[in-house]
């Protein structure tokens, strides 16, 4: 049986969600069909409004304005500490833990010679500028444990001025593990067990 095109189109959209296969996507669309029109319109405009979000010009976090709430908050820079993460989801995960009171920097990935991701593909230059401009004394590398993560940490230690302390978050995160999927307690432990690079 063929679905009407409008349904197939929505199934295709939902199938792009992480962890959603075709069967689940079909279930989602069929459940939408039971919603009333007002709720469907509200959902579609909420999705359209996502296009209004920006990237913070300082740290790269998703933000309503050109500078995010964290970068606007002077208190977040009092400790002169920046936590470097691969992506936005990692930042939200650490924020959820409530454990870190400094500022963030979104790297945009990790160095990967195989995928031809070099320093210029990441926001490393911007990070160095921020360290200088904000007089940052400590950088915490909260990169996911992987070969590429290790390479990136060594590279960052090499390019960050020696007077700045560079630490990597600790064990507890398994190799290949991902920060964004960790529970608050594991993140708390990882931040606690930092080691100097
Ligand atoms: Zn920001």
**Per CATH, the architecture of 5-52 is what?**
Orthogonal Bundle (1.10)
Return the structure tokens found at 141. 């590398």
* CA 69 – ligand 1 centroid, Å: 7
Q: What is the pTM of this model?
A: 0.83
* CA 67 – ligand 1 centroid, Å: 5
**Tens digit of pLDDT for each residue in 77-129?**
999 999 999 999 999 999 998 889 999 999 999 999 899 999 999 999 999 99
- Is the alpha carbon torsion for 189, 191, 192, 197 positive or negative? positive
Q: Which residues pair with 141 in a beta bridge?
A: 84, 168
Q: What is the pLDDT of residue 175?
A: 66
**Per CATH, the architecture of 54-196 is what?**
3-Layer(aba) Sandwich (3.40)
- In what helix (H) or strand (E) does residue 112 lie, and over which residues does it extend? none
* Domain extent listing, the chain: 5-52, 54-196
* CA 62 – ligand 1 centroid, Å: 8
* CA 65 – ligand 1 centroid, Å: 10
Mean predicted confidence (pLDDT) in 173-187: 74
* CA 28 – ligand 1 centroid, Å: 34
Q: Residue 35: helix, strand or coil by DSSP?
A: coil
The answer to whether residue 15 scores a pLDDT higher than 70 is yes
CB 171 within 8 A of CB 192: no
* CA 180 – ligand 1 centroid, Å: 18
* CA 77 – ligand 1 centroid, Å: 11
Q: CA–CA distance from 58 to each of 17, 66, 134 (Å)?
A: 28, 8, 11
Q: Residue 140: helix, strand or coil by DSSP?
A: strand
Residues with CB under 5 A from ligand 1 (ion): 56, 58-59, 61, 68, 71
* CA 170 – ligand 1 centroid, Å: 24
CB 67 within 8 A of CB 57: yes
């Amino acid at each position: 049986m063929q679905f009407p095109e409008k349904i197939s189109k929505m199934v295709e959209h939902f199938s792009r969600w992480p962890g959603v296969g075709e069967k689940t996507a079909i279930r989602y669309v069929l459940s939408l069909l039971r919603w009333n029109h007002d709720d469907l319109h509200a959902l579609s405009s909420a999705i359209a409004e996502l296009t209004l979000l920006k990237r913070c010009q300082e740290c790269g976090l998703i933000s309503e304005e050109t500078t995010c709430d964290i970068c606007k908050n002077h208190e977040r820079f009092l400790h002169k500490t920046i936590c470097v993460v691969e992506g936005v989801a990692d930042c939200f995960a650490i924020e959820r833990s409530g454990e870190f009171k400094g500022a963030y920097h979104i790297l945009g990935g990790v160095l990967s010679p195989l995928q031809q991701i070099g320093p210029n593909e990441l926001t490393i230059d911007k990070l160095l500028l921020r360290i200088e401009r904000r007089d940052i004394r400590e950088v915490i590398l909260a990169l996911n444990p992987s070969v590429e993560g290790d390479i990136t940490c060594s590279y960052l230690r090499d390019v960050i001025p020696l007077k700045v302390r560079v630490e990597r978050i600790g064990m507890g995160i398994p190799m290949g593990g991902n920060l964004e999927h960790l529970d608050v307690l594991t993140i708390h432990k990882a931040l606690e067990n930092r080691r100097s690079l």
